[in-house]
Amino acid sequence: MSTQDVPKTCKVILAETIAKGLLAEVKDTLKSIQKDNEGQPTLVAFLANDDPAAVKYAEWSKKTCEENGFTFDLRQVDKDKLEEEIMNANEDNKVDGIIVYYPIFPGNPAHDRYVQETVSLSKDVEGLCHKHIYNMYHNIRFLDPPHNLKKSILPCTPLAVVKILEYLQIYNSILPYGNRLFGRTITVINRSEVNGRPLAALLANDGATVYSVDITGVQVFTRGQGIKQPRHQVQDKEGWTLEQCIPISDVIIGGVPAESFKVPTELIRDGTVCINFSSFRNFDGPAIKEKASIYVPSVGKVTIAVLLRNLVIFQNILTLVQRLIANRPSTNKDGSTDESTQKAKSEAFVDG
């Protein structure tokens, strides 16, 4: 066989390919829960920065929403008025979900976290409210245990990466749910509170050994020896850098928001799976195709699909809970009012 006949070893997978399956699921679910006379679910997006990546993401979101039965309402607001505008959207019954494009205050991440808390839990389709974040870090999958009707929402970009790994069959479906990354070593190059840290936690909670890397150093996220812990633990890796993490990784996930940064290709072992979730290319395109077995150059369209999936989950939960509670009798056998059922009905049919 000549050199020219040697088959390519790297498969490039586009986000659009993966998003199609998720969007089909979203459309089917939406169709099953919508009544004939109901309007489209409305997603309100707040843009309070001039980040070109956020603008591009908003354009993709609008297009995807309109193609899949959703109304997308982009509201460009001054950052000083953002909190008030979010509060208004929280109270607006015509708004089904809210997203905010971050960062808003790049030099003050605590202020961004405050904004995240401003969004109502019932409209937080990004999964960034305290309750959603707490559940994610503690590996709690539902908002209402032990009934387990209300699924806890996960942050969109980290969940998009998880869905990509599932699509690529990095998750081992033979293993029990929650342990399907057992035996995998993954490096995540980003530890932001919105993307990198939640992603490392999600992957570790599913059984992986995750090296989380940022400019301050390396941390390892695991569920302990033999994944015996119920949720991930974090340890600092003193003296470690990318040079120690990359060569031992089955999967490398780049999320550095800088055009100048590139993952050192020479450190990557043959057959590694490489995924880029930064708005900049963290991998050297031509070179990575000589090393990686699978390369996903971007995740944006999967992130948008996950966003709509989260919104549909909210709609489905509301419909299911309302139907279940509406069908319960409101009176006891002796004819007296069942106060607990009345209270449940009241709570089920309000925003909260």
List residues with catalytic annotation: 156
Residues shown for the chain: 352
Gap between the Cα atoms of 250 and 229, Å rounded = 22
What backbone torsions phi and psi does residue 196 show, to the nearest 5 degrees? -65, -50
Which residue carries 């033999």 as its tokens?
226
C-alpha angle with apex 103: 161 to 131, nearest 5 degrees? 65
Q: What is the largest CA-CA distance in the chain?
A: 88
| Tokens read off for 236 | 């600092």
SS3 readout for the chain? CCHHHCCCCCEECCHHHHHHHHHHHHHHHHHHHCCCCCCCCEEEEEECCCCHHHHHHHHHHHHHHHHCCCEEEEEECCHHHHHHHHHHHHHCCCCCEEEECCCCCCCCHHHHHHHHHHCCHHHECCCCCHHHHHHHHCCCCECCCCCCCCECCCCHHHHHHHHHHHHCCCCCCCCCCCCCCCCCEEEEECCCCCCHHHHHHHHHHCCCEEEEEECCEEEEEECCHHHCCCCCEEEECCCCCHHHHHHHCCEEEECCCCCCCCCCHHHCCCCCEEEECCCCCCCCHHHHCCCCCEEECCCHHHHHHHHHHHHHHHHHHHHHHHHHHHCCCCECCCCCECHHHHHHHHHHCCCC
Which residue carries 């490096």 as its tokens?
187
